[in-house]
Amino acid sequence: MTPTQLVAESQPAKQAADGSKRIVNDFSIQVATVNGSGSQSANSVLLRSIFRMGVPVSGKNLFPSNIAGLPTWYTIRVNKDGWVARKTEIDLLIAMNPETAKEDVLSMKAGGAVIYDEGLKLNELRSDLIFYAVPFDQLTVATGAEAKLRKLIKNMVYVGIAAQLLSIDMASVEETVRKQFAKKVKAAELNLNAVRVGHDYAKSTLTKQDPLAVEALAADHPRNTRGKIIIDGNAAAAMGAMFAGVTVVGWYPITPSSSVVENLIDLMKKYRVEKDGKATFAIVQAEDELAAIGMVLGAGWAGARAMTASSGPGLSLMAEFAGLGYYAELPGVIFDIQRTGPSTGLPTRTSQADLTFIAGLSHGDTKHVILLPGSVKECFEFGMECFELAEQLQTPVFMLSDLDLGMNNWMSEPFDYPEKPISRGKVLSAEDLQRLGGFGRYKDVDGDGIPYRTLPGTDHPLAAYFTRGSGHNEKALYSERPDDYENNMLRLARKFDTAKTLVPKPILEGSGKEKVGILAFGTSHWAIIEARDQLTRESKLATDYLRVRAYPFTQEVHDFVARHDRVYVVEQNRDAQLQSLLKVDLDPAFAVKLRSVLHFNGLPIDARSVSAVIAEEEGVAK
């Protein structure tokens, strides 16, 4: 094909041959490629261009645990109803990876469409799919991009082709590209040109046969995405930490948590360095996770708002220190961006299987407070709340996110600026000590189990105390006395009860009057809300749904189970971990109501996996 043909008079994309009705704003696109090929920004352009038209989208990246050359799949779900959970069926496949092309094509459901490199001859594989052959290399050359950039540019070509076939507004694409390459004008032009080349090629050469189309939502459409943002949970959590006023960070890189701190570093360099160039923070890449949490607890003890972020293996290494934090009562914040375990497991897959382990992280009678964000907005809000709770309760507070939430692209309402001022908990000043004439570090003055503390450096002869992980009495003096030990442990239990009144309450959806309830936490949320819709539409089964947002469980959780006949506990792990914690804490009379819906293959849970099980067990399946 010659350049001249590329600029050939454009023809409108034709309608699907058979007059089958169009599918508008309700399908998913999968880009199959290899990592390191730079398809990320192309995929992001595709995602955001649709988003910019006011149409709800979500983007999930399925990538391997290596750096370059292995299969990667990026899935964009376009859904007018705003469903953003993973959808198992692919409607449009952009097959850029020869290695997986065959399997990718064979796994599609009949009627789907495939954009592929003509060289691959995928059209010979099946007759029940719609195939669009594209001479990618020629088109890439035709963009005029210099050789070393072609690998990257090639991706933008498929963006153009998809845009044309799906009738994505090119103005929207252009805006998106310009914004994405804001600081690099040349790159923007180069990419835009590639998009156009693809677009023109499709326009001039391909015959639209599939029913898929994107249509801008009316400005007043309830689901119009205008005003929304797209962000990943790790970036959101980093923002939360910054606005919480974090000052000391100890971390050790590990997928999928690294980007929490990497985002935080960028933010802090930009917004937390003062005029004189000095930093109001210390971020230290530790030698390992034991050191990372050690720094956090040391800093928390000295009065700083300190945090670390890690994932499974790192959390395991923090076990001993976590117990010290609990028993010596040291504030500290730990983000666990869960990945698929056990052991190294699947480092680039998602999971919710650290819950029970973290709830009792460390030997002995240790219990921890855990926040469970279900959205990027909550990653931001809980990212702040963790610090408040850690200082209020004087204990390590964990936030359990996961790879799906932390590393994928999610739509969200913009985040709200924190209205309540930072509060540092029960800290005594020199003046307080003067007034009180001393204090007992581990004395339960207020009956809430939370003692008072002083910070190192407090200028009063009675300010100092001795912090230790060994037995101590109310005065923080070493003690092996049975009564001192027992009283202290009972106070810690009281403190944990107090935590129940301070952690974020669960959120109820539904009338609250149905017989069937659903309990879940974290990212399972998105599959559940869609599943509830499926159940009402397809099976006429109305359900109530309570999303747990913290451990220990608040009263609402107990009441919810009490009020329903059967409660389905949906979670992304093998061992029904949330259900286990519920069985331990709930009145056993209610535990009998619990049923399990489990999903644990490393992929984010989808709505069908939830609705199918519930419909089946409720005997309303079709």
Partner 1 sequence: MATTPVAPAPKAPKLNRIGLQILDYRGGKTTLCAGCGHNAISERITEAFFEMGIQPERVMKMSGIGCSSKSPAYFMSRSFSFNSVHGRMPSVATGALLANKTMRSVAVSGDGDTASIGMGQFVHLMRRNVPMIYIIEDNGVYGLTKGQFSATADIGSKQKTGVVNDLPAIDICALAIQLGATFVGRSFSGDKKQLSAMLKAALAHQGTVLLDVISPCVTFNDHEGSTKSYKYMQEHEEEVGEVGFVPFFEDISVEYDANTTIDVPMHDGSHLRLRKIHEEYAPTDKIGAVKLLNESHHKGEVLTGVFYVDTQKQDFAQLLNLVDEPLATLPESRTRPSREVLTQLMELHL
Which residues contribute to the site for a copy of itself (CB under 8 A)?
64-65, 312-313, 315-317, 319-320, 322-324, 326-328, 340-349, 351, 353-354, 356-358, 360-367, 468-471, 480, 482-483, 485-486, 489-490, 493, 573-575, 577, 580, 583-584, 588-589, 591-592, 594, 600-603
Q: Which stretch binds partner 1 (CB under 8 A): 142-150, 289-297, 352-360, 570-578?
A: 289-297
Among 66, 88, 501, 555, the residue binding partner 1 under the rule CB under 8 A is 66
Q: How far is the CB of 469 from partner 1 (least distance, A)?
A: 6
Q: Which stretch binds partner 1 (CB under 8 A): 201-209, 317-325, 540-548, 553-561?
A: 317-325
Query: 10 Å Cβ neighbour count for 383?
Result: 32
Q: Given the complex with a copy of itself, which of 156 and 297 has the nearer CB atom?
A: 297
Query: 10 Å Cβ neighbour count for 473?
Result: 18
Q: Among partner 1, a copy of itself, ligand TPP, none, what binds residue 264 when CB lies within 5 to 8 Å by partner kind?
A: none
**According to the binding rule CB under 8 A, does residue 292 interact with partner 1?**
yes
Q: How far apart (Å, rounded) are the C-alpha atoms in residues 613 and 397?
A: 34
Both tokens of 463, joined, read 């300010």
**According to the binding rule CB under 8 A, does residue 469 interact with partner 1?**
yes
Q: Segment 544-563, which members bind partner 1 (CB under 8 A)?
A: none
Identify whether the C-beta of residue 313 lies closer than 8 Å to the C-beta of residue 344. Answer: yes
Q: Given the complex with ligand TPP, which of 198 and 250 has the nearer CB atom?
A: 250
Identify whether the C-beta of residue 489 lies closer than 8 Å to the C-beta of residue 540. Answer: no
Identify whether the C-beta of residue 205 lies closer than 8 Å to the C-beta of residue 51. Answer: no
Q: Which stretch binds partner 1 (CB under 8 A): 23-31, 247-255, 516-524, 533-541?
A: 247-255
Q: Which of 353, 359, 357 is nearest to 371 (CA)?
A: 359
**According to the binding rule CB under 8 A, does residue 418 interact with partner 1?**
yes
Q: Which stretch binds partner 1 (CB under 8 A): 89-97, 396-404, 454-462, 501-509?
A: 454-462
Q: Among a copy of itself, ligand TPP, partner 1, none, what binds residue 58 when CB lies within 5 to 8 Å by partner kind?
A: none
Residue located via tokens 């149905």: 514
Q: Given the complex with partner 1, which of 288 and 616 has the nearer CB atom?
A: 288
Q: How far is the CB of 163 from ligand TPP (least distance, A)?
A: 37
Q: Given the complex with partner 1, which of 160 and 314 has the nearer CB atom?
A: 314
Contacts for 607 with CB less than 8 Å, ≥ 6 apart:
83, 85, 87, 527, 528, 530, 531, 533, 534
Q: How far is the CB of 255 from ligand TPP (least distance, A)?
A: 6
Q: How far apart (Å, rounded) are the C-alpha atoms in residues 373 and 376?
A: 8
State the binding string over 182-221 for partner 1 (x if CB under 8 A, else -): ----------------------------------------
Q: How far is the CB of 321 from partner 1 (least distance, A)?
A: 7
Q: How far is the CB of 314 from a copy of itself (least distance, A)?
A: 9
Q: How far is the CB of 302 from ligand TPP (least distance, A)?
A: 23
Among 183, 470, 587, 589, the residue binding partner 1 under the rule CB under 8 A is 470
Q: How far apart (Å, rounded) are the C-alpha atoms in residues 564 and 567?
A: 7
Both tokens of 342, joined, read 């056990």
Q: Among ligand TPP, partner 1, a copy of itself, none, what binds residue 418 when CB lies within 5 to 8 Å by partner kind?
A: partner 1
Angle at 507 between CA 86 and CA 232, to 5 degrees: 40
Query: 10 Å Cβ neighbour count for 544?
Result: 21
Work out the burial of residue 246: count CB atoms within 10 Å of its CB; fewer than 13 is exposed, 13-18 middle, 19 or more buried.
Answer: buried
Q: Does the CA dihedral 418-244-233-338 come out positive or negative?
A: negative
Mapped onto helix, strand or coil, the DSSP state of residue 336 is strand
**According to the binding rule CB under 8 A, does residue 247 interact with partner 1?**
yes
Residue located via tokens 């921890």: 368
Q: Which of 53, 77, 78, 58 is nearest to 218 (CA)?
A: 53
DSSP state of 295: H
Q: Which stretch binds partner 1 (CB under 8 A): 7-15, 114-122, 243-251, 522-530?
A: 243-251
Q: Given the complex with a copy of itself, which of 180 and 601 has the nearer CB atom?
A: 601
Q: Among ligand TPP, partner 1, a copy of itself, none, what binds residue 592 when CB lies within 5 to 8 Å by partner kind?
A: a copy of itself
Identify whether the C-beta of residue 72 lies closer than 8 Å to the C-beta of residue 64. Answer: yes
* Phi, psi for residue 132 in degrees, rounded to 5: -120, 105
Q: Given the complex with a copy of itself, which of 50 and 328 has the nearer CB atom?
A: 328
Identify whether the C-beta of residue 330 lies closer than 8 Å to the C-beta of residue 301. Answer: yes
Q: Given the complex with partner 1, which of 461 and 588 has the nearer CB atom?
A: 461
Q: How far apart (Å, rounded) are the C-alpha atoms in residues 423 and 421?
A: 6
Contacts for 233 with CB less than 8 Å, ≥ 6 apart:
337, 373, 375, 376, 379, 401, 405, 406, 407, 408, 410
Q: Does the CA dihedral 543-399-246-407 come out positive or negative?
A: negative
Q: Given the complex with a copy of itself, which of 293 and 411 has the nearer CB atom?
A: 293
Q: How far apart (Å, rounded) are the C-alpha atoms in residues 465 and 441?
A: 7
Q: Segment 397-416, which members bind partner 1 (CB under 8 A)?
A: 414-415
Q: Among ligand TPP, a copy of itself, partner 1, none, what binds residue 277 when CB lies within 5 to 8 Å by partner kind?
A: partner 1
Q: Among a copy of itself, ligand TPP, partner 1, none, what binds residue 298 when CB lies within 5 to 8 Å by partner kind?
A: partner 1
Identify whether the C-beta of residue 22 lies closer than 8 Å to the C-beta of residue 16. Answer: yes
**According to the binding rule CB under 8 A, does residue 438 interact with partner 1?**
no
Q: How far apart (Å, rounded) are the C-alpha atoms in residues 514 and 512?
A: 6
Q: Which of 389, 447, 401, 610 is nearest to 516 (CA)?
A: 610
DSSP state of 409: B
Q: Which stretch binds partner 1 (CB under 8 A): 305-313, 367-375, 539-547, 614-622?
A: 305-313
Q: Among a copy of itself, ligand TPP, partner 1, none, what binds residue 366 when CB lies within 5 to 8 Å by partner kind?
A: a copy of itself
Q: Among a copy of itself, ligand TPP, partner 1, none, what binds residue 31 when CB lies within 5 to 8 Å by partner kind?
A: none
Identify whether the C-beta of residue 259 lies closer than 8 Å to the C-beta of residue 232. Answer: yes
Q: Which stretch binds partner 1 (CB under 8 A): 39-47, 53-61, 238-246, 607-615?
A: 238-246
Q: Among a copy of itself, ligand TPP, partner 1, none, what binds residue 72 when CB lies within 5 to 8 Å by partner kind?
A: none
DSSP state of 188: H
